[in-house]
Structure 1
Amino acid sequence: GDLIGPADGRKCLELLYEAGYPNEDGYPEMEILAVDSLIPREMAKTIAEMWELNLGLKTKVKAVPYEEFLALAADRRFYAARQGWTGDYPDPMTFFQLFHSAAEENFSGYQNPEYDYWLSIAQQNMDSISRYRIYHRLEERLISDLPVIPLYFSVKPYLVSSKLTGINYTPQGYPLFQKAMKLD
């Protein structure tokens, strides 16, 4: 089940206040780093608009070519970044490995020896029940340490006619039409 509840704008404002920002006049200007292509750039712009509308945070988007994005992210020269990851195989490890202290994609710089230890145990464990218990522990550690703050989760809505059958989906949610058939 979900370990984090829904977005809470009021709680965000309370946390900003506790961090020393009593009102939006004193908020620092934010910047979201994004790859300069249509979807990443527009998603970053949408997030920036939401932050300003709901929290009063003035936010600009810095859209750069992909190679520059990777260099800035690797050097951790960003305040916030629009970065995505799609599981390339159907196991949570594809996401957990991103937070290992030595992972190339660990753009947050997260380092936790306990996390690294349990991650290595999970990688060696072939028993799925034991491995998923470890995954739950890893997930709780990430939520507690909060090395990143997920800003959104992608969804892929598809409208499918009731006259179509045999559609299958990949683990990432993409439809496969190879066996699709139209009903009469």
Structure 2
Amino acid sequence: MDLKGFLKFIFDSKKLLTALLVVGLVLYFGPRHYPSYIPKVPDPWGFAPVALMSLTGVPLVLWGLAVVGDWLMGVKGWALRWGLSFVDLTPAEMKLLRMMAVLPDYLVGLGRVTPEWRIEIDACLHELARRGLVERFGPSDEFARLTPRGKREAMKLREARRQSGEAVEEEELPLFR
């Protein structure tokens, strides 16, 4: 086994890295707290415990963050399975859904949107259509309306906002002239 393969083996082994981290912690903190049991590391090797903790601690922290990230993705997946699809919507997409929920059967035409909001609303409608909350039709997808699922989600979103004590923006409708 060459040096590159050996280093790859060491950094891929979580148990070995954990054991080396424990050794580094004992060599560093042991002489300070238990000097009668653990002798001090000789001066020429004083850097070794710190280097050992650094080289083994960083991969272990990164693996720990990956585990937490996987857990959070699992929670997000659980929320999506139970119909809480607004969990990962952007604030602009949530606002557009809430606006469309005021008049759920209302047809949104990009020709009626004020020019300064047209690009952002088009991007939001594209993402909502990708999620199945809005259906787009007409020449170059100019028109959009809520799907039955989109109506349910928009109403859930409005109800969640109402229960949280925030005002529901009925005045946002002038965005669509």
TM-score range, shorter chain: under 0.3
What is the TM-score when the length of structure 2 is the normalising length? 0.25
Ranked by relative contact order (alpha carbons within 8 Å, sequence separation 6 or more), the top structure is 2
Greater per-residue helix proportion? 2
Rg larger in structure: 2
